[in-house]
Structure formats: C-alpha cells, structure tokens
Amino acid sequence: MAQPSDFNLFDDETRECPFPYLQAIRREQPVYFMAELDAWYVSRYEDVRYVKKHPEIFSNDIFALGAQRGRARDIAEEYRTEHGWERVSTLQRTDPPVHTKYRKLINHAFTVKRVRTMTHYIETTVNDLLDQFIDAGACEFMHDFAIPLPCTVIADQLGVPRDKIWRLKEWSDAMLAPGGGFTDEAQALECGKLVVEAQRFFAEVMEARRADPRDDIISDLVHAEVIDEDGGPARHLTMNELQDLLDQLLTGGNETTTNAIGSALMLLLQRPGLAGRLRDEPKVLRNLIEESLRYETPVLYLWRVTTQDTELGGMQLPKGSSVALGYASANRDEAVFDDSETFDVERSKPGAHLAFGSGPHHCPGAALARQEMFSTFTILLNRLENIQLEDPNDRFEHVPSSFLRGLVQLKLTFDVRNRGHHLPGASAF
C-alpha cells in the first residue's frame, strides 16, 4: 500500500496525477508535513472547513506573518516592488475585518442576481467563439475557446478592450506562475516584468476612469471609498490597493474558469454517450459542472499560516507554520463523498465540494464561473456533435504547477449539428 513518503508533488508523474498521493495522505496522516512544500498539508474535508472557520488561528495574511514564499516568487515580487507598485494585501491575503472591507467593494459585481442578467451576453460570447472555428470541423479547444471565453468576459467587466485579451492572459499567467513551483529564476524575472507592464496599463486605465467614469468595475473601484476603522474618515483606495484588487480579479476571473471548462470537457469525452443525455437533461448538465469541479478541482490548494501553536488532525503545528489547504484532496474525501474516486453525474448534493472555497473567502466569481460553464456546454452540445479527440491516445497533459490544475491543450474534431446561434436564455441557477 502506497505511503505519502513514496510521492513528491514536483515529480512529473505525481504532478500529472496527484490523487493517489492525496489519497495516501488522507489514509495515513491527514495533516501531513509535505517536505516539498515545506508546509503542513490539510487533506480532509472537515479539517479544511475548520481551518477556514478559524482565521484567528489560521491566517490568510501569509506574507505579513512570514510564511514561506520561494525564490521564484521573491524574484518576481522584488522586480514588482522596484519598478511598479509594491504588493499590499486586500482580498486574498487578509482576514476579517480587513478582508470584509475590501470584499464589500466587489460583492455586487458577480452576485447570482446580476449573473442572471448576463445570461444573454454570455451565451452570445460563447456562440461568437464557436463561430470562429465551427466550419473547420476541428479546434484546439483550450486556445480557441476555454481561454478566450473567461478572458473576454473579465475584459468586458473590467472595461478593457477585447483586443487585449491575449495580453491579459499573459499577464494573468505571469501573476500566478512564480507560486506554482515550476518557474526558474530567469522565468520569474520575466514574470515580474509582465506584471509591471500590466500594472502600468491598468494605472492608465484607472486614471482615465477617474476623470471619465464608465459602467465597469474599474470605474467603480477608483471612485469607491473605504473606512479603515469605525468612526474613521472615508478615503479612496491607493494605487497599490487598486493594483492588488485588479491582480486578483484578473487571475480569479479567467484562470480557474479556463481550467474548469477544459477539465469538464475532458471528463465528458472520456464517457461516450453522456453528451447526448446532457443535451436533453439540463439538471444532469448542472451535475456535470459541479461533479467536474469536485473531481478535477482547478485550484489544488491555497495557503494559510498559524498565528499560534495549535493542534489539527492530531498533529502539533507550531506558530508560524505554513499550511496548505488541500481543496483537491478534500473534494475526494471518502468520509464525505461516496465512492469519491469515481466521477458520477448522478451524485447527490454535487455542489457540496470546496472548489470555490467556503466562508468569507468563498470565491466572489463562483456564480459567474458556473454560468460560463453552463452556457458553454448548453450551446456546445447544441451546435456540435460527434466531438472526439484528434488523437485517441491523448494523455491530457497538464500545465506545470503544484497548485493549479489545467490542461495544456485539447485538440478536437467534431461534426456540425447547428450552424446558427443557439440562445436559449438558460440560467445556471
């Protein structure tokens, strides 16, 4: 029987399929010191939820509290600090009440109510992207669809011209890559340069919106006011705060949705006959989306740091310990999900997964991501049929990263079922 010590998250074989490793951790030592991360890995569902409920013990403010960062991240951050705007913590790296202050600024942007009003717009965007390759009878799905869909949507919401979407993707990748464990020092420096390029672009946009507001998120943010303490004066956000918020909106608004769409289609392709059923049963399509998020969680883990000596899962964690919250492992926890290593669109309560986190740090873009996925498969399955891999022996290789899970490519062939736009007005909610 495999032991956790038999694996290393940075070995290619384990990185491509980390699930036997995560299963061994859950079975043998649910809170496991993962040497390759220099952190305690929390593998079980209830332990992950406990950590998220107790930010006073397991803080999200990892940089301020001295959690490990890695040389690649340090290089990228040093370049950013010297040549652009130094990182400050707003949403992702703060705890309540600081996190709450910033979260209020964007809560309205992607509520279920507002996303419902975006259904026609998202469906139109999906159809437009399909139009670009439908006559070819083939596509590289990640490049031709899974990347540009969420990039286009987030560009439109931010008020950025659509001709910038591929640059947005490069900037987003550069913001994330140094933390993934597969970036050398030269690559980290290039990432830092791209991040500063993004900052300068957004600084110009923000100054333009300050003088001439539009109906977009950047306009909302530059004119927003926050109060730092009860009874204190209201103030506008600093450029450092604005840059950090846009960093998180950009990466959160495209990377995870791209990965989730690609993974869901991969799982569908591996199950002949399922596509026909999904065309006719929207409820099953909703289950496909939730079950794919559980089974192929797009963000494998995120960080916390302990603020005091504590115990978790029978292990003693000293103050200042780095903690990796294993969402991908929690989503396959046998104590919560029956037959957890099996992909099952009939699973009861498929939305119980933690792919979007939980509690105060629940992903603010979760509703938007679900609608983008639902519109994608509703329209894709209406307009295309006989969708197959170009290479039946495709190994479904993933982008090198220890904490993100997304396909490098997905080359497909297909037949055309419907050349016209399909606009059913189908809400995911």
pLDDT tens column, 275-295:
989 998 888 999 999 999 999
DSSP symbols for 102-114: HHHHHTTTT-HHH
- Give the span between the Cα atoms of 397 and 406, in whole angstroms: 8
Helices (H) and strands (E) in the chain, counts: 17, 12
Q: What beta strand segments (E) does 172-272 contain?
A: 225-227, 234-236
Element housing 310 (H / E): strand 310-312
Residue 337 confidence (pLDDT): 97
Q: Is the domain 4-416 a CATH 1.10.3720.10 member?
A: no
The answer to whether 397 and 290 have CB atoms below 8 angstroms apart is no
Ordered by start, the domain boundaries in the chain are: 4-416
Cα 123 to chain center, whole Å? 21
pLDDT bin (cut points 50, 70, 90) of residue 135 is very high
Q: Please state, rounded to an integer, the average pLDDT across all residues of the chain.
A: 94
Would you place residue 150 in the very low, low, confident or very high pLDDT band (cuts 50, 70, 90)?
very high
Query: Is residue 252 very low, low, confident or very high in pLDDT (cuts 50, 70, 90)?
Result: confident
Residue listed under structure tokens 């943010």: 221
**Position of tokens 């030592």?**
29
Predicted confidence at residue 69, as pLDDT, reads 65
Strand, coil or helix: what is 118?
coil
pLDDT digits (tens, 9 = 90+) for 304-360: 999 999 999 999 999 999 999 999 999 999 999 999 999 999 999 889 999 998 888
**Most confident stretch, 68-77, 131-140, 268-277:** 131-140
pLDDT tens-place string over residues 174-233: 999 998 889 999 999 999 999 999 999 999 999 999 999 999 999 999 999 999 988 889
DSSP state of 145: I
